[in-house]
Structure 1
Amino acid sequence: MLAAALSFRDLLNPEMVIHYGGLALLLAIIFAETGLFFGFFLPGDSLLFAAGLLCESKYLSTPVVILIPLLILAAVLGSTVGYGFGRWAKHYLERRKENFFYKKKYIEMTETFYQKYGMMAFVLGRFLPIVRTFVTILAGMSRIDFKKFWIYNLLGASAWIVTMVLAGYLLGNAFPGLIDHLEIIVVAMILVSAIPVITAFFRAQRKMLKEKMK
């Protein structure tokens, strides 16, 4: 009920998500961001960090040893759904008109990233907003072998979840006062995580421009 009452703006605020939605909404957002094409705008990195920082507290009572496996499961399941959606909706997405939730440049940027890193894109891409959403959909659209995809998907989800959650958990234990500055930390993380995405976007744009000039 409380989760349903959260506004769009609240969903972008990790502290609000955890405070009002608890574990259930946390898992739902990680699932959506890693597999549903409209979930790219959700705050995955900062949300995981905040979850590690706030876990085992009055805000999120779940122990970290339980929280991490649950989040990995949510991320893997979300990516698997994204892969299936990509296989099913390939022709639909290619013809779909662009809107806020879907732009062809997201697929093109992700495809450039995949061409550069191959299957490791499913590991490295977890740490990049937008890419981590669309790389799984691209895998389905490209008909990448599911077993190979699933292995790298699991590796990527585990590396991402463990790194972000443990970073928040360990720093929170070392510096308990960090909780009082969570909003500043979240803004800083969003800005830092946006840098590689912006860089990749301009590289993709430059590549497309060069191809048009040939």
Structure 2
Amino acid sequence: MSFLTDALEGLAGLPQPAVLAVTGALTLAECTLGVGFLAPGETALLLASTTVTTVPRFVVMWLVVTVCAVAGDSIGYYLGRRYGYRLRDSRMVRRMGQQHWDRAGELLRRRGAWAVFVARFLPVVRTLVPASAGASKLEYRRFLPASIAGAACWAALHIGIGSAAGASAKYVESVFSGAMWVVLGVAVAVGVVVVLRRRRQAAATGKKELEEVG
């Protein structure tokens, strides 16, 4: 498992401003209509979060990701406000799946502004809900607080998961390194027992068949 921690340490060794810039840019792109289908914002956030080892780093990344997510939502809202339901027939939405657009619209009809918060945790749909909210003429003064709340909670959750995963990988490797030979020895012993047992069964079966023939 050393390759995993080596990779994480290499990522942690990158300049923090560069990590934040790339993570923020991918988050903004992932939250913008259409681009979210192509940009691995959530995956990038989880990977970048493995570099979070202190509270200040957590706070800075949380703020950057939250602001970029809200900015991406606002861009999507603006596009929906300007182009309306024509977006449903756009090439990008058709590529993502018009059923996701319909699901976003249904969520907004049932939940109102709360749908913006809930959709933040739903793959694909979260990319379309802001545009659908703009198309449905949901007031921006209601849209923005829900977007901020959802982005803040989503960012905190994923940064926490990524940070814990990075720490766990290093712990697992330290434990595994000490127990590696024990685990390997047990695996070899089990393999030998299985092979010997199969050979014994095969020999017994062959002997029985010979007796029946004789």
Range class of TM-score, shorter chain: 0.5 to 0.7
Which among 120, 133, 137 is matched to residue 143 of structure 1?
137
Deviation for aligned residue 1:69: 0.3
Which segments of 5 or more consecutive residues in structure 2 lack a partner in the other structure?
A: 1-10, 174-214
1:34 and 2:31 are equivalent in the alignment: yes
Question: Retained in 1: the 8 A contact 2:119–2:126?
Answer: yes
What does 1:95-174 align with in structure 2 at a 5 Å threshold? 95-97=89-91, 101-174=95-168
SS in 2 for 1:54: coil
Question: Retained in 2: the 8 A contact 1:32–1:78?
Answer: yes
Query: Which AA in structure 1 matches 2:30?
Result: E
Residues 1:46 and 1:178: Cα distance change in structure 2 (over 3 Å): farther
Measured against aligned partners, the alpha-carbon deviations of 1:63-89 in whole angstroms (never above 9, x if no partner) come to 222111011010011111110011112
Question: Retained in 1: the 8 A contact 2:77–2:130?
Answer: yes
1:45 and 2:39 are equivalent in the alignment: no
Deviation for aligned residue 1:178: 6.7
CA-based RMSD of the aligned residues comes to: 3.2
Aligned residues: 161
TM-score normalized with structure 1 length: 0.63
Query: Which AA in structure 1 matches 2:40?
Result: P
Residues 1:174 and 1:38: Cα distance change in structure 2 (over 3 Å): closer
TM-score normalized with structure 2 length: 0.63
Stretch deviating more after TM superposition (48-57 or 116-125)? 48-57
Deviation for aligned residue 1:110: 1.4
Question: Retained in 2: the 8 A contact 1:172–1:178?
Answer: no
Residues 1:98 and 1:30: Cα distance change in structure 2 (over 3 Å): closer
Partner of 2:70: 76
Deviation for aligned residue 1:52: 1.5
Stretch deviating more after TM superposition (107-116 or 170-179)? 170-179
Question: Retained in 2: the 8 A contact 1:40–1:129?
Answer: no
Deviation for aligned residue 1:177: 4.7
Query: Which AA in structure 1 matches 2:144?
Result: W
Q: Percent identity?
A: 25
Radius of gyration: which is bigger?
A: 2
Question: Retained in 2: the 8 A contact 1:98–1:104?
Answer: no
In structure 2, distance between residues paired with 1:42 and 1:97: 17
In structure 2, distance between residues paired with 1:94 and 1:43: 23
